[in-house]
Homo-oligomer: A and B are copies of this chain.
Amino acid sequence: MISCFHSARFARIGSALAVVLVLIAPAAAEAPRDSAEVENFLLDNGMEVVVIPDHRAPIVTHMVWYKTGSADEPPGKSGIAHFFEHLMFKGTKAHKAGEFGARIAEIGGSENAFTSYDYTAYFQTVTPDALETMMAFEADRMRGLILTDEVIGPERDVILEERRSRIENSPDALLSEEVDATLYQNHPYRVPVIGWMHEMEQLNRTDAVAFYDRYYAPNNAVLVVAGDTDVETVRKLAEKTYGKVPRGPDLPPRVRPQEPEQNTKRTVTLTDPRVSVPSFQKSWVVPSYNHSEPGEAEALDLLSEILGGGTRSRIYQQLVVKQGIASTAGASYQGTSFDPSSFTIYGAPRGEAGLESVEEAIDTEIRGLIKDGVTETELEKAKNRFVRSMIFARDSQSGMANIYGSTLATGGTVEDIQKWPDRIKAVTAKQVQDVAAKYLNPDHSVAGYLLPTAEAKK
């Protein structure tokens, strides 16, 4: 339920601007300093609004989150969600392409956008007096884009080039794509956020207009404003801008094809001359917060932290520090997805060590944890690290905005966020052991191996 911008789940970002998102830990969510003031409400047209006052600096973060991402794309149209993110920077009936960005630059603000499996978001960081202008521009492009072939064609070339540079040029990214396509046998998380090249090449005006008309509407969006403002100001400005945008079609429940039972152990190997350092990852499909049995997602978060969250984790300590066979090793859990998602462990060998020894050492740690559980001490420490990461996150205005936006865009509530620290604190050692035993079944895992060509020939 808490936003975790992990590369595997998060194919960002349309515009040519730099990524200004703060990467936050897979946690972060104790209420901000003035948590009592976080308020949310609905506009008459169905748009959800969250206000997170933060008066430490004269800045506001203004975000609009659309509850649509790549996993909502029609089959065969992969990439349209991310393509659309690009198209949102084109001209509208009221403003020429580039006008919005120029205005932001003029007032010394910054902006960006990103697309994930489950949502697409647009944001600006500006001084509070510019908030109304941002809202007006953002509300304008919610329905006002001019989508001609002349706009679509050149921008399609941009996303194709983006795929070439981000994916085709990166053995690591290519492997990740095919690991996901193997891990998910049925769910659209199988398909890369950026899209498959051959499908991106075919995306056209009809696809773009259909996607826009279906998903870009106030009743499918969440407005998050964090910063030096207050709820009444935001309400007034939102009604004046977004409130004028007519409600869109009522969308059916967001039900995607779910995973069947997993019965097999799978491997995916990419051998590529461009690889200099081999690496290894192993993933499982596990519940996300949105779908877990009570407490399981929280336990998976802590399992990930204990097993492989940072340099104090079991895997890091054992492989990198004690055995010295790995240059890096860790774990990650994508608990914030709308649908069941992945738990991943990874490592890269160091020196003479091979991938097999890294994998075996990681497997040994998992088996040990399943057999003997975790200690109260390490559980407490893991919980404390989570609390610290929250404190860090609440220091970041955009971090807080991200947490609220991503949670609300993936089926969660403000209350979920505010109660999350207590739910984490309530997790027992037994629960952590239980989710490890239940989900990290070695016979149902998907392993990815990235190998340099020479090593493969040995």
Contacts and interface: CB of A to CB of B under 8 A. Distances in A.
A255 interface: yes
Nearest to A257: B76
Interface in A231-278: 255-258, 260-271
Given A178-B264, A185-B178, A443 B271 contact: yes
Contacts of A222: none
Interface in A187-232: 188, 190-191, 196-199
A268 B446 CA distance: 9
B174 A263 contact: yes
Contacts of A443: 269, 271, 456
B197 A260 contact: yes
Nearest to A448: B264
Interface string A383-394: 000000000000
B269 A266 contact: yes
Given A190-B185, A266-B268, A270-B263, A257 B199 contact: yes
A375 interface: no
A263 B198 CA distance: 14
A175 interface: yes
B264 A266 contact: no
The DSSP consensus for interface residues of chain A is mixed
Q: How many copies does the complex hold?
A: 2
A45 interface: no
A47 B39 CA distance: 62
Of the listed residues A181, A198, A199, A443, the one surrounded by the most CB atoms of chain B closer than 10 A to its CB is A181
A110 B248 CA distance: 55
B196 A256 contact: no
A83 B334 CA distance: 35
Contacts of A271: 265, 443
A255 B197 contact: no
A311 interface: no
Nearest to A199: B257
Given A178-B185, A186-B191, 11 more contacts: A75-B256, A76-B256, A178-B264, A178-B266, A182-B266, A197-B260, A197-B261, A199-B258, A265-B268, A265-B270, A443-B456
In the complex, the 10 A-B pairs of residues with the closest C-beta atoms, listed nearest first: A181-B185, A76-B257, A196-B260, A178-B264, A265-B269, A267-B267, A264-B270, A264-B268, A75-B257, A266-B268
